[in-house]
Amino acid sequence: MALQLSHMLDRDEVRLKRLARINISGGLPPSATLFNDFPKFLNGTRTMRGKRIVMILEAMLELERLTSPIPPEESMIAALEWKRTNPKKFRLHWEIAKREAMVQRELSRYRFTPHVAVAMGGGGQTPSEWHAWWKGDPKWEKHLRMNSSEALEMILKLTEAGDLTRLRRCTQCGKWLIARFRHQKFCSIKCQQKNFTATEEWKRHRRVYMRKYYHLRKQHTRLKIGRRR
């Protein structure tokens, strides 16, 4: 009896490990244009529903900024004793808690419906193969390839992958982008060059270049006049 119970527990342990590896997919289909469609949604949405997605993203990025310096071993709950022993820490964690509540309130506006379908029969030998996924609001904006629920799912997937901070605004034009590199600040070479031409370094370089150019032109003019004589 004890041996049978042990085998049952072992099988349950295997099943639990298998369940831990399963992640029901969302309704966002992977595609070659996914990383182009998402910034286009953030920059081009015109509906209140879509703009709320942008607001959620901005709030989550602000939470990332606030929480990133906190040591991993520190509790993320605003402990009441900190109010007396460490007021600065208490205020920080209380602010984090308020912002998290706001994000959660906004997230509660969105609904994802479970879907299932049989993908393949078992041939009488094994169970049929099923697919299960969550699908959000199907409403679309005509000029965009991605809807608000898919955009929200994209944000949550990037967050879970640890890539939330790769979503940022271009330093020059303010448009949203997905940074391919950690240090990327601009959405295009054009914005990068435009930003650089506004720096004091470039302006100094330009002044030196123009002085040299002016002197060369002046010398060239003198040589031409000398030849004519």
pLDDT of 74 > 70? The answer is yes
Average pLDDT of the chain?
A: 86
Is 60 exceeded by the pLDDT of residue 5? no
Question: How many CB atoms within 10 Å of residue 70?
Answer: 14
Q: Which of 11-15, 29-33, 36-40 has the lowest mean pLDDT?
A: 11-15
Q: What is the 3-state secondary structure (H, E, C) of the chain?
A: CHHHHHHHHHHHHHHHHHHHHCCCECCCCCCCCHHHHHHHHHHHCCCHHHHHHHHHHHHHHHHHHHHCCCCCCCCCCCCCCHHHHCHHHHHHHHHHHHHHHHHHHHHCCCCCEEEEEEEECCCCCCCCEEEEEEECCCCCCCCCCCCHHHHHHHHHHHHHCCCHHHEEECCCCCCEEECCCCCCCCCCHHHHHHHHCCCHHHHHHHHHHHHHHHHHHHHHHHHHHHHHC
pLDDT at 104 over 60: yes
> For residue range 180-223, what is the model confidence (pLDDT) as tens digits?
888 899 999 999 888 888 667 756 765 665 666 666 776 666 66
- For the stretch 200-209, pLDDT in tens is 775 676 566 5
Helix (H, G, I), strand (E, B) or coil at 177: strand
